[in-house]
Structure 1
C-alpha cells in the first residue's frame, strides 16, 4: 500500500489517467470544502513511492475531476464557485480554459468515453450541462429541478447520459430524442420505490422504514450496457437495469454505517464494484450477477417490482481516519489496483485483492 499526504487539503476525488499507467490526479479542498482554496494534484507512481508531478491551487474548493479523453495532459475540475476549469500539466499555474454557467457549486464532471469531444457537469443548481472543450458556452442544459450530485455519460453510447440527485431519482437522458417538453429525459427511476418483498435495510433500521433519501453517487457497469449502480445517504448500494425501470433494483448491498460518497464499477470484472463512505472505509462488493439470470425480453414486459438479489461484501479497507470521499480503479496492469482519498489528507494506492475474503 502506497501513501501520499495532501497536506493542508482534504481529498474530494481521485482519478487514474486513461493514458499513463503511473499517473493519477486528486481534487482537494482546504477546510473540508466549506471555505478556502482548492488544489489539483498531478501525481506519479515511482519506484520510490508517490511523487508530485505538478499541482495547481484554485481560489475555491474543488469537488471532482475528470481526465480529458483527447489530450493526455489535461484535467477538468469542478469548483465550488460554479466554474469548470481545464488544466494542462505542461503549462504554468493557470487553467487553459474556464467555463462559468452554473449558479451553484459544481459537484461532478465526467468526460464522454465514446464521443470524446464533449463532457458533462452537474450542480447544486438543479441542472446537468453538456460541454465541448472547443466551445466557450455549454451545448445543452438538462434541468433536474433538484440538487444533482453526480452525472455521467454511458461508456457504451455517446448519447446516453444519467444523473442522480437529492430527490432520490435516477434520470436517464437520450440526447438523440427530440428535446420537446421532456428535455431529452427518457427514463426516471425512483431509487427508493417499495420492493416486491421485504429486503434488508441499513443496520438497525427495519426494511419498511427506509425512506427516500439523497442519492450522492452512481456509476455505469462497464460490461452490461443497461446496468448502473446508485448509492447515497441511506448507506445502501442498489443496481438497476434501465430496460426495466418499473422492476426496482436488481441487487442491493447494505452494510456501510454512514452515507456512501462514491461507487465505482470494476473495469475488469462485471460483478464487482468499490464504494467509499463517510464511515471511513472502502469496501469491495459483488452484486452476484454471475449467480442470477439475465433479464430477457419477456421479463421486461412484466409489471411491478421484482425481488432484488442481496449482494455480498467481499472485503474492506479501513486505513483512512476520516470520511473517504473518492475511489477509482486502475485501468492498467494486473486487475485489482485502486486509489482512494479522504478528508484525512491522505491518498492511498492499494490492491483490492489484499483485502478480499
Structure 2
C-alpha cells in the first residue's frame, strides 16, 4: 500500500487544551481497556478452540495401516529419543559431587537449567503491568531519567497556544495507519507534527466534535436562534475529539488532548457481533466468483466500512455515519460509559436502510435545519430527508457517475453541492427535488471542475460565494460564485486561481475555521499543505469586496502563501502557480 493522506480536518483555535495530558495506564484505565479489548479477543478465543478441536480429530478418518501408524505414533510419542545424542538429565536429578577444579567458562553455579522454572502467575494481555512498583514522586523512581527540569521542557514543547490551530490527518505509510496531529501557527507560518495516534485499519473519513463521549447530553436547545435553558441542569460539556471511520465497521472516537494514547475513548459498533472480517464468497465448489455477497444488514451497527461521518452541531450528542453496507446510521454519543458493560455506546439509535441501493459515500447534516440529512451514493443519486421521517425525503439522480462528496451551502438553507467521479460539480436547490428518482432533477448550475474525479469540495464559512475543489488531476481550485440569480439570470461561476500544491492526487480540501482565505489540502503523496489564497493577486481582487462586506481583514502572506513540512531530501515543495 502506497503512502497517502486520505482525509484531513481542522480544529478551531481555542478548542484544544493548552497543555495536553499524557496517557496514564492506571487501574481504572486498565479495567476500561481490558473490557474493550475482550471484545476483540473473543474472536481469537473461538478460533483457538476450533483449531484445538480440529487437531484432536486429525487421523480419525484414516483407514488400514495409516490409522495404525497414527495410533502407534500417539502411543509412542513420549518414548521418542534421538539415538545420536545422549539423553538429557531428568529435572531434579542430583549432580555427582566432584573435587576437580571447574574448567574455565563453567556456568553451572548459576543454575541456568532451571531458568524457566517460574512460579505460576496470572496471565493476560496486561498481567505484567500490575506487578510494577509505583512511585508517587517520579524523582524517587531510579528508572525514570526524565526529572522535573526535563518534564518542564517537554511540557513547554507540547504546549498548544490559544492562537494555534490543530490539523488532524488520517495517514497511511508502509501499511501502517495513524492519526497525525499538526499544530499550525498562522502568525509565524509554522506547521509541525505535535503527536500521533495509531489506528487498527486504513482510515477513510474524519469528523471533529467537541462533545465528550459518554457524557450527559447538552441541556440547551436551539429553536429559531433563541436559546432555551433550564437553570437546574448543568451547562453542556465541551471537549476536543476526533471520530474516525475505517475499513472496519466500527467508529473510533479519540481525544486530541491526550498524547501517546493507546486506545480510543469510545468505540461505536461491536466487532464481536458484526463478523465483518469474514468474507462471504458467491457460489459453491471450485468455481467461485471474486465478488462477495452483501453482508446481512442490521439496525444496531454497520457491517462494512464506514465511508463518511457528520456531527450535528445543534444536537451535539448526535453523529451520523454512512457505510459501504448501504445504510446511514445515527449514534447517540451520550449513551453508555466508555469501556462499560452497557454496550459502550455500541448500538445505533436509528438506521436508514432504504435510502440508497449501493454504498453510501457521503453524509452531512444541514446546519440551518438540524434534523435534515444530505446523502450521496454509488447508486448515482443524492437524497435529502428529515431524520424523523425518512420516507418523506426527496432526491435527485446525478447522471452517469458516482457521487464523490456532498456539501450544504452554509449561506443557503436549501442549497447544496455535489461532486462526481467524472469531475463535475453540481448545485441543487432541495426545494425543487422530486420525491421520485424516475427522472433527473435539474441542477441550478453544472461546473466541469477537474479532468479526473472531483474528489473533494468545501464551502467557505466566512463569506458568501467561495468554494474550493480538489481532484485526482492533482489540482486545487478556488471558485467565485456571484448571486446574479436574484435578477432572474443564472449564477455566474468563475475560477479565481488553481494550484498544484505537490500533494499528489487531492483527496481532501478544507477551509480554515478561523482565517477566511486559508485552506488545507492533502493527498496521495502523504503530504499536508496549507495555502493562504490571499497571496494570489486575483484572489484579493475577486474576494476583497466580499471580505470587507463580511467584516473580515485581508492580509497578504509571504512564501507564496504555502506552508508545509519539507522533507530532508527535498527543497521547496510549495508547488507551482497555476491559472
TM-score, normalised relative to structure 2: 0.45
What is aligned with 2:267? 55
How far did residue 125 of structure 1 move? 1.1
Please give the per-residue CA displacement for 1:167-198, whole angstroms capped at 9, x wherever unaligned: 21111112244759762521111114xxxxxx
How far did residue 258 of structure 1 move? 2.4
Q: Are residues 72 and 167 of structure 1, via their aligned partners in 2, closer, same or farther at CA, if it must alter by over 3 Å? A: same
The answer to whether structure 1 residue 10 and structure 2 residue 10 are counterparts is: no
Aligned residues: 280
For 1:79 and 1:155, the matched residues in 2 are separated by: 25
What is aligned with 1:115? 369
What is aligned with 2:249? 38
Equivalent pair of 1:111/1:119 in contact (CA under 8 Å): yes
Q: Hey, which of these two has a bigger chunk of strand by percent?
A: 1
What is aligned with 1:77? 321
5+ residue gaps in structure 1?
30-36, 193-211, 298-310, 320-354
Kindly indicate whether structure 1 or structure 2 has the higher relative contact order, using CA contacts under 8 Å at least 6 residues apart: 1
For 1:260 and 1:95, the matched residues in 2 are separated by: 32
Q: Are residues 169 and 235 of structure 1, via their aligned partners in 2, closer, same or farther at CA, if it must alter by over 3 Å? A: same
What is aligned with 1:189? 447
Q: Are residues 285 and 215 of structure 1, via their aligned partners in 2, closer, same or farther at CA, if it must alter by over 3 Å? A: same
For 1:165 and 1:266, the matched residues in 2 are separated by: 24
What is aligned with 1:99? 352
For 1:178 and 1:140, the matched residues in 2 are separated by: 6
Equivalent pair of 1:169/1:190 in contact (CA under 8 Å): yes
What is aligned with 1:271? 517
How far did residue 223 of structure 1 move? 1.4
For 1:178 and 1:147, the matched residues in 2 are separated by: 19
For 2:385 and 2:535, the matched residues in 1 are separated by: 35
* Higher alpha-carbon deviation: 237-246 or 269-278: 237-246
Equivalent pair of 1:73/1:88 in contact (CA under 8 Å): yes
Equivalent pair of 2:328/2:360 in contact (CA under 8 Å): yes
Q: Hey, which of these two has a bigger chunk of helix by percent?
A: 2
What is aligned with 2:4? none
Match of 2:471 among 221, 229, 232: 232
Aligned ranges 1:122-133 → 2 under 5 Å: 122-133=376-387
For 1:187 and 1:109, the matched residues in 2 are separated by: 21
How far did residue 226 of structure 1 move? 0.9
What is aligned with 2:526? 280
Q: Are residues 69 and 132 of structure 1, via their aligned partners in 2, closer, same or farther at CA, if it must alter by over 3 Å? A: farther
Equivalent pair of 1:239/1:251 in contact (CA under 8 Å): yes
How far did residue 138 of structure 1 move? 5.7
For 2:305 and 2:380, the matched residues in 1 are separated by: 19
SS in 2 for 1:139: strand
TM-score, normalised relative to structure 1: 0.71
Please give the per-residue CA displacement for 1:281-335, whole angstroms capped at 9, x wherever unaligned: 11111222774213699xxxxxxxxxxxxx955222589xxxxxxxxxxxxxxxx
For 2:240 and 2:433, the matched residues in 1 are separated by: 42
Equivalent pair of 1:70/1:117 in contact (CA under 8 Å): no
How far did residue 2 of structure 1 move? 2.3
Equivalent pair of 1:64/1:77 in contact (CA under 8 Å): yes
Structure showing greater radius of gyration is: 2
Aligned ranges 1:1-357 → 2 under 5 Å: 1-7=194-200, 9-19=201-211, 20-29=238-247, 37-48=248-259, 50=261, 52-57=264-269, 58-89=302-333, 90-91=335-336, 92=343, 93-100=346-353, 101-137=355-391, 139-145=393-399, 146-177=401-432, 183=441, 185-192=443-450, 212-243=451-482, 248-288=494-534, 291=537, 292-294=540-542, 312=560, 314-317=562-565
Equivalent pair of 2:503/2:526 in contact (CA under 8 Å): no
For 1:270 and 1:185, the matched residues in 2 are separated by: 28
Equivalent pair of 2:396/2:434 in contact (CA under 8 Å): no
Equivalent pair of 1:18/1:67 in contact (CA under 8 Å): no
For 2:503 and 2:311, the matched residues in 1 are separated by: 31
For 1:169 and 1:138, the matched residues in 2 are separated by: 28
